[in-house]
Amino acid sequence: MKAIVLKILHEKPIFIIGLSMLWLKTIIVGFWDFNIVLENPLQLLILLLNPIPFLMLFLGLILLAKPSRQAIYLCVFLIVSSFVLFANSVYYREFTDYITIPLLLVGSNMADLSSSVFTLMQWHDIIYFIDIIIIAGLFVWKKQALMKNSRYRFRQLVPFFSVMMIFSVLTIGFANIERPQLLSRSFDRELIVKNIGIYNFHFYDVYLHMNTRAQRVFANEDEFNEINEYTVKVEKREEADYDLFGIAEGKNVILITAESIQNFVIGNEVNGEEITPFLNELIEDSYYFSEFYHQTAQGKTSDSEFLVNNALFPLPRGAVFFTHPTNKYYALPEIMNEHGYFTATLHANNGTFWNRSVMYEQLGFDRFYTDEDYEITADNSIGWGLKDIDFMEQSIEHMLEMPQPFHLNLITLTNHHPFDLGEEDQFIDQYDSNSRTLNQYFPTVRYTDEAIRVFFDRLKEEGLYEDSIILIFGDHYGISSFHNRAMSQYLEKDITPFVEIELQQVPFIIHIPGEEGKVIPDVSGQIDIRPTLLHLLGIKIEKQTTFGRNIFSKEREELVILRNGSFITEDVIYTSETCYDKSTGEPFDLEDGEESPCQPYIEEVQRQLNYSDRIIYGDLLRFEGT
């Protein structure tokens, strides 16, 4: 072993320098862009070790190649590895997550995402590629010496690969000591990357992708019956607190998906000005759910649509709209069609974005109004497309031509990252912090609020208001944890993991003309919108293998499950493997042997996420009614 190591060091010093620089860069990125926090010396050791087996493996493979090609292969390896780091860092800045194979299936979205991606890039990102420039220069300088080196044989490198295996076993062993059953927590990518490293995570992701693709082949009716029996068993009878069953029977249904609006802006101000004056006023005459959470994952807006229409959880990796658009679903549009409703989605974007044109047909929508159905000009569009006020105005014209009753989903655009808005459209000034994203967020939220006011005024003018029930909900967060420093300045408090979960709250408002307003403090989430709406419409359905519950039900358990395994109840918040007391915002101080108040929920949370995933991966709803 000593002889081969000395031989490599003597003949390939540039190789060792290049891989050492990549190792160091990987560690720095972990702290700098991935915000990895170490809690003990073992976690530091794991962080230092986990890139080594990966680097040793590829060094060994490169050494097996012809000497004339080794330098090229190493440069390609360094470029690809650096790009993997860079791409994950840029993605992490906005979504606090890592890229997965299913996410790459949405590559057709990249043209629309370009403005957001470029905004996330920073001048210091050049450091991701400086080492490659240095190594390439050294190769040019030492080219003749490299050409003279002999080729390595596999038998020579057996000791080298043996050491690599030892490092692999140590890394996995230490990781499992730190977090037992680590690889069974595929939903928790933060934890996996922290313990096995970003490169090994992508290999693990390939395994997960292959495994999930096989689930449909081996799925059977017995698996569906097991899950269906569970959902029927836990379903609570919808005995309402208020006499609301059927209160909106026969009315038009209008769902407004308010892009990226979080709940912290409701009733709040910036620079002394209300951020959402119209929504604040509307809440007084509406049912307002004051602790309502988005439950989306990598699919973002499309995940929120999936949650609302199916009352199933989105997938932990990728977007269901791309990965499983041909599954059998019994979605909300199909239910509404069965009850005489015309169903449509209106969104002034191209129909292929998030694969909507395919998925909407599968969900049962009668019509999809895309950018081709709107008059979009340079004056009435910005950023992602048609401005929200113009979108609402033109959508009213489409609604006047629709048969009634109708069930519609309107998806806004203006309040989308990077939150671009011309000064002529800004009703309030930008905030002043170190985050351009947060500064620009408030004016675009205010603009969307104004667009919703315009929409309500037009509904009244056109005689559509009295015969409609309007639901407004935020689809996902707008400000990621990458901007915690600026958020801490605005909220005037530290952003702890507890506060980060609180910031996943989005507004949910149900407005029924003529009904008095009421604040509903119950813990609820997007998965509960479908059963709650059906209750108000007086619609009962027999087959319902879902996980959402009518929020107005007396017997409904207050439990909201987030896609990463965190959860919220009336009394606790569980996140980052820590149980927090909601009354104090601090972790519970437990005595030795005392059970955490979160413990009784952990198994139930994992069961529901697992069952929902099996329904999607196995396309189990095709067995319903068989």
What's the pTM value of the predicted model, to 2 decimals?
0.84
CA distance 456 to 451: 9
- Do 444 and 518 have their domain in common? yes
Residues annotated as catalytic are 301
CA distance 138 to 612: 53
CA distance 542 to 149: 74
User: Where do we find the tokens 């909601």?
Assistant: 582
The pLDDT value recorded for residue 159 is 83
- Do 23 and 162 have their domain in common? yes
**Cβ pair 202, 84 in contact under 8 A:** yes
- Write the CA distances from 488 to 262, 481, 499, 581, 602, integer angstroms: 15, 10, 10, 21, 30
CA distance 310 to 64: 52
Q: Residue 190's CB: how many other CB atoms inside 10 A?
A: 18
- Do 357 and 419 have their domain in common? yes
- Do 210 and 264 have their domain in common? no
- Do 474 and 377 have their domain in common? yes
Given 214, 244, 266, the domain boundary residue is 214
Given 181, 214, 247, the domain boundary residue is 214
Given 164, 185, 214, the domain boundary residue is 214
**Residue 326 token pair:** 């041909």
Nearest Cα to Cα of residue 482 among 415, 431, 437, 439: 437
- Do 237 and 208 have their domain in common? no
Enclosing domain of residue 110 = 2-214
Phi, psi for 292 (deg, rounded to 5): -120, 130
Structural domain tally of the chain?
A: 2
**Residue 113 token pair:** 């995402």
Pairing relationship of beta strands 273-274 and 269-270 according to DSSP bridges: antiparallel
**Cβ pair 537, 251 in contact under 8 A:** yes
- Do 463 and 599 have their domain in common? yes
- Do 201 and 265 have their domain in common? no
The pLDDT value recorded for residue 29 is 86
The CATH number covering residue 504 comes to: 3.40.720.10
- Do 245 and 153 have their domain in common? no
Instruction: Give the dihedral sign, CA 57/59/64/68.
Output: positive
- Do 273 and 314 have their domain in common? yes
pLDDT under 50: residue ranges of the chain? 111-112, 147, 237-238, 240
